[in-house]
Chains A and B, each alone.
Chain A
């Protein structure tokens, strides 16, 4: 270890030029140390530079950050190594050897003023495709899946606006969204796969894992909540032995919550595929489940309802 001494020797390397790294560098530089500030990204500032306000005090992020960025930028004791990464560290406290790899910017940093004109004049607009759209369409689908996909696609206009409708049709057909087909959706509608996935994970209706033959949805609306909907959910978890969002091993039942089915007059409500059951109690659940276990043919609410609400 370094001996305690008042004499300032050597230099300090700070890794990461977020608000913490910058403040540390400033304190050290003020104390008389020479500081190397290494930052992976092209600029200092870090995540805080991207925020509007900070939690929980609602302070303006830029107001906190900007003075430190300016100080850091101009401090003679701080040498900034942006767009660089630490490759190796050798030695011990007091005598380190550090290798930093500086990535090429293809721009003369001494002359660049950061005016931004080059960005606006660049003829190539890169869209953030995680995978090449042309490659996505080459993923092999089974003949059956290919036909289903083509048939779904033929019912919609080929543009970005249709994406949710297409995903819904696929979700209805397979009860989840298979990865291979999502790639084809991206290719067919000419959108980034990242968008397809951001939508597929955003909406509650979609699942990325296979669901059971019968999807049980327990309404979690306010009326159902005050009438004991939560107990119904826990009762089902117990009876099926799966947590919410899970599927039984025999792939028969999936258990899900739904925000509100708008049948508040019949609370608490559950649906199993298209069938709706009102005024459910825990005691009625085994009987309801039995129907589906025995593969009784079920019919949709839009055509005909099934219920044992009035026992």
Chain B
């Protein structure tokens, strides 16, 4: 900790401008730290260090445009920054006071750039509760969180509320588990509180295994204290003295910020013994996962924490009755914990004003795949898929046709175009044959093969099945082989019925949700995209042009101008032709790797 007077001096320092540069994993991999260093250096060089502050914030959500920066107090949004254009930016905006249009967000080629953050559809259509602090504070500084009303909910809960009142408040807020299953959080807490035992535990499940979902990582990277605050309130309500955070090892940056946050909270007396002088003791420890999808399942996660083989076990007893070390344990997802301070601060009545009849509040989604504005969005429950994909997501790139949205990871399903006006909540998604899941929305266009998507998920689940239940271990593998055969053009029409039979067996006879929901991707694609299966089986064609055994690459002589790029890139050297003349692919030796299509700047390589 810094000496008090330094903090005081820091706090009294007034800056005329704050440059909030995103330092989430996405932007960092696009050299955000290099950009920040260049920015700091440039500002120093011009002697503006006392006037301008550069802050590295957590993930701001607009990952597609990274590295991004918000220029306050003007609220100007800059995107795709590089070290090279920093000097120009500082010169123009900071010195001359002229914002730089060419670094602003441009919705499409023929529209003018949008300078202000609040005018960009991606941001202004969102409603931020869980991500309330995103991009506004430095996640490595607890003071900034406190300045944004942080730990106020904790103080309110510890000093003015009884554990029962807290549980009642959470119950009446209608908060449901954000990890996927949607179990009412208040009810879960009440069971854990009532379970007999002196020693109780709480767990924050940050083992975000669903492919295509990264909200938990982002929440921890941008606002780790909100999770810690939620956990501390939960621990007080349940009567737990220790909490575990189980986080994936694939998230090094989130892990680093979490450790910093925990250390700071301990220093400030917000974790540890006698929190806020109320006599309440609570501390947390962080456990790293080691890359196993099944560890997101609660009983398996507990097994992993205890150092056992992480196989799910039969429930009941539920973790609320017998969890870690056979003590009552309450497990919630990162996003659920981050909702808690908001509910306590603003009250359940306010919280229930957002959302639908059965699902209250907001949900964070990662909108990714074939969509223009990929990133993290938070919207009230009941928002339609169309609003998310088109208004916030900006539609499909390259003017392609929208085909489906995949939700809920490997346990979910694909929602077709005909259901795009579906308001999203737990029930509606289940009715449509998918699930809410942790909140990954993968947008697919006409160039995505749905049979291949089903094969992809089966392959994923086949690899991640722990192997305890025969139906899951053998059944998913059998289903994968059938779907892989269909992709290879060796499918038979009877295979469809067999797939349905196998799906039933796998669903009914597996212990945990991994196996229980494993057939969903197959069943939902069969339900909505039966024609694609038929095309693969009967006509031996892949309509989307994905399945290698069923496609061939050809060069359109009309469009090819003989630039020779594909010829140079081809790993098998099977593209022939003279320079400046249309090229020809020798089908004999072609391995269909697609490099030629990727490298062609004129769209001359056609898939058939």
- Hey, which bits of chain A sit against chain B, CB under 8 A? 51, 53-58, 159-165, 167-168, 191, 195, 198-199, 202-206, 220-228, 231, 234-235, 238-239, 258-267, 269, 274-278, 281-283, 300-307, 309-310
Contacts and interface: CB of A to CB of B under 8 A. Distances in A.
Contact of B460 (A259, A281, A301): A259
Interface in B273-318: 287-293, 304-310
A307 B29 contact: yes
A238 B593 contact: yes
Contact of A260 (B210, B290, B444, B598): B210
B288 A223 contact: no
B169 interface: no
B367 to A, nearest CB: 9
B253 interface: yes
Interface in B533-548: none
A262 B25 CA distance: 9
B249 interface: yes
Contacts of A310: 30, 80, 82
Contacts of B501: 56
B287 A228 contact: no
A262 B30 contact: no
A222 B212 contact: yes
B292 A283 contact: no
Contacts of B293: 259
B28 A301 contact: yes
A31 B593 CA distance: 63
Nearest to B32: A305
B25 A164 contact: no
Nearest to A163: B307
Nearest to A165: B288
B33 interface: yes
Contacts of A221: 211-212
A51 B508 CA distance: 15
A150 to B, nearest CB: 20
B500 to A, nearest CB: 12
A278 B208 CA distance: 20
B453 A226 contact: yes
Given A160-B307, A260-B211, A283 B26 contact: no
B562 interface: no
Nearest to A284: B598
Interface in B421-462: 440, 442, 444, 448, 453, 456-457, 460
B505 A56 contact: yes
Contact of B594 (A199, A227, A261, A282): A282
A162 B291 CA distance: 16
Interface stretch (B128-136, B170-178, B379-387, B467-475): B467-475
B505 A55 contact: yes
Given A57-B505, A223-B442, 13 more contacts: A55-B505, A164-B290, A167-B290, A203-B292, A205-B290, A222-B457, A223-B440, A226-B444, A259-B291, A264-B63, A265-B376, A283-B598, A306-B31
Nearest to A264: B368
B476 to A, nearest CB: 12
A224 B440 CA distance: 13
B396 to A, nearest CB: 12
B212 A301 contact: no
A54 B32 CA distance: 55
23 contacts: A55-B471, A55-B509, A58-B471, A164-B287, A164-B288, A198-B309, A202-B310, A204-B292, A205-B291, A220-B211, A220-B460, A223-B374, A226-B369, A226-B442, A258-B291, A264-B368, A265-B26, A266-B26, A277-B29, A281-B598, A305-B33, A306-B31, A310-B82
Contacts of A307: 29-31
Nearest to B511: A52
A259 B251 CA distance: 13
B488 interface: no
* Residues of B in contact with A, size category: 35 or more
Contacts of B217: 262
Contact of B464 (A58, A223, A259): A259
Contacts of B30: 266, 278, 305, 307, 309-310
B370 interface: yes
B99 interface: no
Given A204-B292, A277-B29, A264 B253 contact: no
Given A168-B290, A226-B444, A305 B212 contact: no
Contacts of A224: 211
Interface string B40-68: 00000000000000000000000110100
A238 B208 CA distance: 31
B214 interface: yes
Q: Would you list the 3 A-B pairs with minimal beta carbon distance, nearest first?
A: A265-B63, A204-B291, A262-B214
A265 B368 CA distance: 6
B256 interface: yes
Nearest to A309: B30
B23 to A, nearest CB: 10
With a 10 A CB-CB cut-off, give which of B30, B80, B374 has the most chain A CB atoms.
B30
Nearest to B572: A238
A259 B209 contact: yes
A235 B406 contact: no
Contact of B290 (A162, A203, A220, A239): A203
Interface centre among A198, A238, A266, A301 (most CB of B within 10 A): A266
Contacts of A263: 25-26, 29, 63, 214
B169 to A, nearest CB: 32
B603 interface: no
A278 B594 contact: no
Contacts of B80: 310
Given A235-B595, A278-B30, A305-B28, A261 B470 contact: no
Contacts of B212: 221-223, 260, 264
A239 to B, nearest CB: 8
B585 to A, nearest CB: 16
A291 to B, nearest CB: 14
Nearest to A166: B307
A161 B63 contact: no
Contacts of B310: 202
B409 interface: yes
A301 B291 CA distance: 19
Contacts of A278: 26, 29-30
B44 to A, nearest CB: 19
Interface string B143-182: 0000000000000000000000000000000000000000
Nearest to B254: A262
A275 to B, nearest CB: 8
Interface string B180-223: 00000000000000000000000000001111111001000000
A109 B374 CA distance: 71
A231 B548 CA distance: 11
Nearest to A282: B595
Nearest to A261: B250
A56 B471 contact: yes
Nearest to B410: A222
A191 B593 CA distance: 48
A131 B288 CA distance: 28
Nearest to B508: A58
B368 to A, nearest CB: 4
